[in-house]
Structure 1
């Protein structure tokens, strides 16, 4: 045998060098035309929706060590903003084609049917939640739980509460997202046709409404209590509207907000700075002091503070910056489609049943923790059990859905064979 030529070996075995554009392409979309536009079903939406559901579940069992690791500890916004934005995206994906191709009232009826479904889900989980807390007080000697989450209003102002429950003006604590979503879906037949024809006009109008209601503190009434809704639809509609337009654009294989290197750099820097603000006390104190000084100059609180009910400017800006950064990273798209993200995708595909069940499980977790001191082991077992139950629910729904599809396909094949 002849000795191997080292030079030849080097030529054969040295991997080809990647260009800078190819290397960056693994992480960032480098084309304005393709940024954020999936070729098929976008796994990112399912993954992030599932991740938001996990965060919401953990946050809704307060007082655990593990809530310190959810996204609300690293930014001004939290999983609620993500949930509403992605709900808008899902609505845009689901209904935009109907408003383009079908008669208006047919398309509108589809949306309103979904809103009606959500309304009855909200009433159902509210009734079950009240029964859970009442049972804890009656049978397990935990009367104090009736003083939490606004439940005492039902006993102190019973006639008003019974009116407020179906009107959604009386909402238990931690059961605030579905009423917001129901209202936003109810007006989607007005928003989506305008957005499909004049998207930037819709965004401008949405911004004006958000700004005016924040400055004037306009809100839906909280009857029979005082104040307004915890998640104000007049303010939170901005997140939903932008999500709606993003979803409609995705349905048409385009991006509503194309990738721009300068915009991406600014958004990424903002997300990183806000994370440092949240984690480093000195930076946070300096930032709050700066916002306080700006507020003293006469700028309304809506633009300088962090009120969740009115989606104040810092929360809103952080949410949109975070969404833009995450949607721009090719790495995120690859991860979302990987097997590692499969549990989150599974949860996200069945968002409504997982959310409704997760809400009840989190309230049950609150009852179990009501007489206990924080315990990382107990809390970990509690949260892990709840998440495993949610995964089991989603998996069972996935299997049922697949069986239904196979049954329909088999019937179609049998019909075709008979006709042939």
Structure 2
């Protein structure tokens, strides 16, 4: 970061006191993303997360046993939300540092509006797929899955709930979370760019309060709350947002510290053994049960996904910290080997939306069939190739459009 930029941010109160500037200090080999470059690691990891989400959204295949959720406490959803926050920090933070505040807010909310319409479209497409399977292919059992039955039991209420986002189909509930967090992003940035550690403290307090008092956005017509509770999951988004905002000016929000890295790596190893060794997993759960009997709240001792319980949260944060500070990841992300993942990651929204529709179509196709590694592999492989083709076409179209505008 140049001296004029440093002086500007210090005068604005962005860098804060000396101890805060120390924590925000650049580390070796960190690019200044503000120059217009992309961090290839973000595209790579986002692409990997999208592939794992696609595979997990077609349950009952042997291949879901190889996704990240089988090797720790968290899964690809945590990675998706964290990286969505990081991408938002990279994309929008500079507009909140200078220029029109309303223009900055409007740009973020325009993205939220886009997510809303994408969610409604893929919801209707998925309903059409399941209705067609029941009507023309004699598969009425598919209408009992994925929270679809309410549409037939309480059609008027469900038709109200879908556009209000209070009725979400199974596997289609992460975009409403993302949209809600984007609506709150201007507030997150207004606080976070000036007092990042205050923003993080407030985020932690909100996460704890949501678990302690079990507040959530409501469902309708079904009872309960959102599967991805925004008041809980915001903590991952905020951490990603603060990290992306720091990267935009060539810094790290959470810098590398050998002790933190060692603790995070050790926790990942513990979680791996916990997940893969049944005896160790049983012993660990017994210890958590003792803590629960002593009065520890469920969001500390359980693995609840809706409220992003502490074991899931710590595992996700440890994974992000270790992968984000491994030097090999920078070289790997720039290599030709992972180019397909980078391509998918660059077109994240389109790939996620089309992948969701394809995955539910594959659920229908699998319904009358027993699990088969070859057939399942062909279905999943064909779907991933289709997503790669889509990402390539969108990227190529964007490149041609930019070339014509320059000419």
**TM-score for the superposition, normalised by structure 1:** 0.89
Are residue 282 (structure 1) and residue 279 (structure 2) matched?
yes
- Cα deviation code 1:196-223 (max 9, x no counterpart): 0010101001101100110111111111
Once the 2 structures are TM-superposed, how far is the Cα of residue 41 of structure 1 from its aligned partner?
1.8
Once the 2 structures are TM-superposed, how far is the Cα of residue 38 of structure 1 from its aligned partner?
3.0
Give the counterpart of 2:388 among 387, 391, 409. 391
Aligned to 1:78: 75
Once the 2 structures are TM-superposed, how far is the Cα of residue 36 of structure 1 from its aligned partner?
7.3
- Cα deviation code 1:259-301 (max 9, x no counterpart): 0000000000101110111001111111111111111111111
Aligned to 2:96: 99
Contact 2:108/2:186 (8 A) holds in 1: yes
Once the 2 structures are TM-superposed, how far is the Cα of residue 122 of structure 1 from its aligned partner?
0.3
- Cα deviation code 1:110-159 (max 9, x no counterpart): 00000000000000000111011101111111111111101110010111
Contact 1:36/1:255 (8 A) holds in 2: no
Residue 122 of structure 1 aligns to a residue whose secondary structure is helix
Are residue 172 (structure 1) and residue 169 (structure 2) matched?
yes
Contact 1:35/1:259 (8 A) holds in 2: no
Residue 299 of structure 1 aligns to a residue whose secondary structure is coil
Aligned to 1:20: none
| Pairing 1:57-136 to 2, within 5 Å after superposition | 57-136=54-133
Distance 2:31 2:257 in 1: 17
Are residue 163 (structure 1) and residue 156 (structure 2) matched?
no
Give the counterpart of 1:34 among 9, 13, 27. 27
Give the counterpart of 1:200 among 197, 200, 211. 197
Q: 1:35 to 1:176 in 2, by over 3 A?
A: farther
| Pairing 1:224-373 to 2, within 5 Å after superposition | 224-373=221-370
Once the 2 structures are TM-superposed, how far is the Cα of residue 72 of structure 1 from its aligned partner?
0.3
Give the counterpart of 2:141 among 134, 140, 144. 144
Unaligned runs of 5+ in 2: 1-23
Contact 1:32/1:260 (8 A) holds in 2: no
Contact 2:134/2:143 (8 A) holds in 1: yes
Residue 187 of structure 1 aligns to a residue whose secondary structure is helix
Distance 1:278 1:336 in 2: 27
Aligned to 1:417: none
Distance 2:165 2:293 in 1: 37
- Cα deviation code 1:91-119 (max 9, x no counterpart): 00000000111111110000000000000
Once the 2 structures are TM-superposed, how far is the Cα of residue 35 of structure 1 from its aligned partner?
5.2
Residue 53 of structure 1 aligns to a residue whose secondary structure is helix
Distance 2:211 2:309 in 1: 7
Distance 2:351 2:99 in 1: 31
Contact 2:126/2:360 (8 A) holds in 1: yes
Contact 1:291/1:305 (8 A) holds in 2: yes
Q: 1:36 to 1:89 in 2, by over 3 A?
A: farther
Once the 2 structures are TM-superposed, how far is the Cα of residue 32 of structure 1 from its aligned partner?
6.8
Unaligned runs of 5+ in 1: 1-30, 411-420
Contact 2:25/2:251 (8 A) holds in 1: no
The number of equivalent residue pairs is 380
Contact 2:43/2:346 (8 A) holds in 1: yes
Distance 1:393 1:92 in 2: 26
Distance 2:64 2:254 in 1: 32
Runs of 4+ in 1 over 2 A off after TM superposition: 35-40
Aligned to 2:21: none
Distance 2:260 2:28 in 1: 13
RMSD: 1.1
Stretch of structure 1 that moved more, 210-219 or 355-364: 210-219
Distance 2:38 2:214 in 1: 40
Q: 1:36 to 1:320 in 2, by over 3 A?
A: farther
Once the 2 structures are TM-superposed, how far is the Cα of residue 33 of structure 1 from its aligned partner?
3.1
Distance 2:369 2:354 in 1: 23
**Larger gyration radius, structure 1 or structure 2:** 1
